[in-house]
Amino acid sequence: MTGDRTSGWTRRQALQSLALAGAAAAWAPRGLAQAPSRRIGVALVGLGHYSRDLLAPALQLTKHCRLAGLVTGSPGKLPEWQGRYGVPDRNVYSYDDFHRIADNPDIDAVYIATPNHLHKPLALVAANAGKHVWCEKPMAMDATEGEAMVKACRDNKVQLAVGYRMQHEPNTRRFMAMAKERPFGRIIKLRADAGWWGWRDGADDAWRLDPARGGGAMYDMGVYCVNAARYCTGLEPLAVSAFDETARRDLFKGVDETMRFRLEFPDDIVAECVTSFGRNLNTLQVDCERGWYAMSPFQGYEGNAGRASDGTVFEPQLGPRPRMQAEQMDQDALAILGNTAPRAPGEEGVADLRVLDAAFASARGDGKRVEIARG
C-alpha cells in the first residue's frame, strides 16, 4: 500500500540547505526550505467526511499548500483518492507505518482529521517525525493530552495549529477585534449555541456516540461555544456550571447529546451556552452596556453573517465552501513559511480543553460550580 519510500534526500542535507540559506530562525522548521513560493506539502490523516468533502477540495484552492500525502486505515479508499489527487504510492501510509513519514521530504505538515481519541497519539508520531501538525478540534480528549501535544511539537521544533476554522473567518476576526475595542462599552453577557440535528443509527461516524473515541456534542460542537466565548471577551473563564440535558438516553450512552453550560469570566461577564446533537443551533450574541452584536451562523461553512444594534451588518465574505478551510490552511502554511505563530496555536486548543474538563466534571456533579484550571 505504501509503495516506494526511497529518497535521496536526508535530514542532514535538509539541515545543510537550511544553513546555506541562512535560515537562522530560533526555531527553524525541520526539513523545510524557506522559499516564499514554496507550497507546504500536506498529508491528510484519516480520509473520512471532513478530509473528503472539505479539506481535500480546499487544498486545491490554496496558494501555499498542496495535497502531498495520505494516511489511512482503509486501503480500499486509496484508488479513488490517489486517482483524484495524483498522490504517489511513496506518499501513502497506514497508521502503523505513519512514523516513516520522517523520511519523506514531500510532506511538511500533517492534518489530523480522525476521531478525537487519535489526535494526541497521531500528533506525537508526526511531531517526532519532524512534521508540522495541524489538528482538528477538539484538539485532544483533555487538557493533559493537549499539553503533551504542545510539548512534543515544541521539543521537535515544529508548529502545532488547531483547526479552528472560524478564527480565519473575517467576521469572526472582527468580533475578536471588538473584544479589545469594546465599541459598545463593557461586555455584560454572551450567548453561544452550537448544535446539529440529524443523528441517525448506522451513521459512518458512529464514533460520535462512543465515549472512548471522543464522542458527544460537547467535544464536537460545544468547543465552538467555548472558543467563541473566549475570543469574544479576550478573557479566560474562571469557572463553569454544566448540565447534561441528554434526552435520547437510548442512543446517547455515556456521551452527551445536549449540554447546557454557564461560564464565569472576570469582570462579572457571563456566557450562557448550549450544545446539542439533537437541535440545530448556530447563534452567537454579545450583549454590552450600550448595545449588542450577533452572528447567526457563527460557525457556518459558507461564512458568518450578523448585525449589531447600531445597524452594522456583517455580510459573509469568504464565499462558498470550502474557501474557509483553504484560507485556514493558507494562513497556517504562511506561519510555517514565515516562521511566525499560527493564528490558533496548540495553546488555544489546550485553553478550551481546560474548560471542557471542568464542564464535564461539573456535569458529573449535577451542575456544581467547578473552577477552571489555569495554565
Amino acid at 32: L
d(CA 201, CA 120): 28
Q: Which is nearer to ligand NDP, 187 or 226 (CB)?
A: 226
What is 140-159 written as a DSSP string? SSSHHHHHHHHHHHHHTT--
Please list the residues that pair with 258 across neighbouring strands.
Answer: 276
Collect all residues with Cβ–Cβ distance below 8 Å to 268 and sequence separation of at least 6. Answer: 188
d(CA 151, CA 213): 23
d(CA 218, CA 337): 34
Provide the minimum distance between the beta carbon of 210 and ligand NDP in the complex, in angstroms, as a whole number: 8
Residue of 165, 262, 323, 354 that binds ligand NDP (CB under 6 A): 165
φ, ψ of residue 58 in degrees (nearest 5): -65, -35
Q: Which helix (H) or strand (E) holds 84?
A: helix 78-85
Q: Which is nearer to ligand NDP, 79 or 311 (CB)?
A: 79
Residue of 46, 146, 215, 216 that binds ligand NDP (CB under 6 A): 46
Binders of ligand NDP: how many residues, by CB under 6 A? Answer: 23
Q: Which is nearer to ligand NDP, 187 or 220 (CB)?
A: 220
Provide the minimum distance between the beta carbon of 17 and ligand NDP in the complex, in angstroms, as a whole number: 33
Residue 207 touches ligand NDP, criterion: CB under 6 A: yes
Provide the minimum distance between the beta carbon of 140 and ligand NDP in the complex, in angstroms, as a whole number: 10
Binding to ligand NDP (CB under 6 A): which residues in 137-156?
137
**Contact letters for ligand NDP, residues 217-246 (x by CB under 6 A):** ---x--------------------------
Q: Give the ranges where 156-241 is alpha helix by DSSP (H).
A: 170-181, 217, 223-233
**Contact letters for ligand NDP, residues 61-80 (x by CB under 6 A):** -----------xxx--x---
Cβ neighbours of 215 (radius 10 Å): 24
Q: Report residue 122 CA to chain centroid gap.
A: 14
Selected range binding ligand NDP among 97-105, 110-118, 281-289, 355-363, rule: CB under 6 A: 110-118
Q: Which residue carries 513559511 as its cell?
A: 337
Provide the minimum distance between the beta carbon of 279 and ligand NDP in the complex, in angstroms, as a whole number: 18
Orientation angle between helical segments 223-233 and 346-364, nearest 10 degrees: 120
d(CA 85, CA 60): 9
Residue 205 touches ligand NDP, criterion: CB under 6 A: yes
**What count of residues does the chain have?**
375
Residue of 116, 172, 241, 362 that binds ligand NDP (CB under 6 A): 116
Q: Which is nearer to ligand NDP, 31 or 69 (CB)?
A: 69
Q: Which residues bind ligand NDP (CB under 6 A)?
A: 46-50, 72-74, 77, 113-116, 118, 136-137, 163, 165, 204-205, 207, 213, 220
